[in-house]
Amino acid sequence: MLTAVRSRHEYEYAHIAVRRLSGTLGAEITGVDLARPMDAATFAEVLEAFHRHLVIVAPGQRIAPEQLVAFTERFGPVEGHPLGSRRGLEDHPQVMVLENRPGRLGPRNDFWHSDISYGETPPLGSVLYAVEVTEGRGDTMFCNMYAAYEGLSDGLKSMLDGMTALHSAEKLVQEVPNRLSVDVAPPAVEHPAVRTHPGTGRKALYVNPHYTIRFTGWTPEESRPLLDLLAVRATRPENVFRHHWRAGDVLMWDNRCVMHYAVRDYDDTMPRLMYRTTAAGDRPR
């Protein structure tokens, strides 16, 4: 007999079905059709699943750009990229196109990061709609930053609780080829090293190895070993969910408590086309 056991601790949903995809984060939601307007009771459960699982995936969707925007808007206002790093769809400039095709390699995101943490008000979350995938290539990995914080010693947690860190787009600006609308990084911004999630009240580590340049009052040289240690702890295999894309997946991550990494195991002969939308967030506190 083949059995899939559901943990006794799972929340019961009435309008959607939710299937956990790893021990730490990620869940598949079914029973939603993003091509149709979603009623408030169903959205409340989607939001519940998002807060519990941090990354939600609705497979098998066939949606138009405006439906992707409408879904994203349930979470917060949809915004473009502040440095213009991605092409937008002609009729829907807030829908960013991540495209890899012959002769044109797609943008690199093969580093652990939280989107636009160098902004004053980084996004609440980002949504990717997989339009075209090459089977088995271009997975995306996610890690749980609540668990990363909770797993630290009390001593390190209390030190980090009182700290802030500077985040900068300088690495993005140095990238070649750089697709940005600016050629100097905007001034670095300061965010708490540990933030409290406005929707769950839980504390999450909020530094990342790509955009965080140093702790406030510390030199980059002093900061790097601690930033590296925190990145290693956050990205332990037990704390990571790796998503294998199928065309039709609509996946959303909570940028306030998740870092992500786009696996670069494809070349320009392996098409990958994603539409991305971004829901605006609050200033971290």
Question: 20, 81, 86, 113: which one is catalytic?
Answer: 113
Q: Is 282 left (phi over 0), alpha (psi -120 to 50) or beta?
A: beta
Residue 276 binds which entry of Mn ion, ligand OGA, none, CB below 5-8 Å type-dependent = ligand OGA
* Of 156 and 182, CB closest to ligand OGA: 182
Query: Counting contacts by CB under 5 A, is residue 79 touching Mn ion?
Result: no
Query: Counting contacts by CB under 6 A, is residue 274 touching ligand OGA?
Result: yes
Number of residues binding to Mn ion, judged by CB under 5 A:
2
Query: Counting contacts by CB under 6 A, is residue 114 touching ligand OGA?
Result: no
Sole residue written with tokens 């965080």: 212
Compute the distance between CA of residue 115 and CA of residue 93 in angstroms, rounded to an integer.
Answer: 18
Three-state DSSP state, 43 = helix
Sequence-separated (6 or more) residues with CB below 8 Å from residue 11:
18, 48, 49, 52
Sequence-separated (6 or more) residues with CB below 8 Å from residue 235:
112, 143, 259, 261
Active site residue 276: yes
Is the bond preceding 102 in cis, omega lying within 30 degrees of 0?
no
Active site residue 113: yes
* Of 109 and 134, CB closest to ligand OGA: 109
Query: Counting contacts by CB under 6 A, is residue 81 touching ligand OGA?
Result: no
> In the structure encoding, which two tokens stand for residue 259, read together?
């870092």
Q: How far is the CB of 47 from Mn ion (least distance, A)?
A: 22
Compute the distance between CA of residue 130 and CA of residue 133 in angstroms, rounded to an integer.
Answer: 7
* Of 146 and 275, CB closest to ligand OGA: 275
Q: What is the DSSP letter of 52?
A: H
* Of 42 and 126, CB closest to Mn ion: 126
Q: How far is the CB of 21 from ligand OGA (least distance, A)?
A: 16
> In the structure encoding, which two tokens stand for residue 220, read together?
């980059």
Query: Counting contacts by CB under 6 A, is residue 235 touching ligand OGA?
Result: no
* Of 169 and 274, CB closest to ligand OGA: 274
Nearest one of 94, 108, 87, 137 to 247, comparing CA atoms: 137
Compute the distance between CA of residue 74 and CA of residue 77 in angstroms, rounded to an integer.
Answer: 8
Query: Counting contacts by CB under 5 A, is residue 254 touching Mn ion?
Result: no
Residues 109-128 that bind Mn ion (CB under 5 A): 109, 115
Residues 93-112 that bind Mn ion (CB under 5 A): 109
Which residues are part of the catalytic machinery?
A: 113, 115, 260, 276
Binding footprint of ligand OGA on the chain (CB under 6 A): 98, 109, 115, 126, 140, 260, 262, 274, 276
Binding footprint of Mn ion on the chain (CB under 5 A): 109, 115
